[in-house]
Amino acid sequence: MLETIAIIFIILWVLGLVTSVVLGGFIHILLVIAVIMLLIRVINGRKL
């Protein structure tokens, strides 16, 4: 579940960069959350 959410956040962030849609800092916050969730999974020893 967390992996799916992280992937969605990363896709939204990339779309924001590609289409130059500015949503303030929101899209970058989503990226940070996605990266943190992936790091937690790696630290806990789970496979991506």
- Residue-wise pLDDT for 5-42, tens only, equals 888 888 877 777 666 555 556 767 777 888 888 888 88
| 33 lies in some domain | yes
What's the pLDDT at 21? 57
Return the pLDDT at 38. Answer: 83
Handedness of CA 26, 28, 34, 36 (dihedral sign): negative
The predicted structure's pLDDT at residue 24 = 59
- Answer whether residue 43 shows pLDDT above 80: yes
Placement of tokens 């960069």 in the chain: 17
Residue 29 sits in which domain range?
A: 2-43
| Number of domains present in the structure of the chain | 1
Does residue 10 sit within a domain? yes
How confident is the model at residue 46, as a pLDDT? Answer: 60
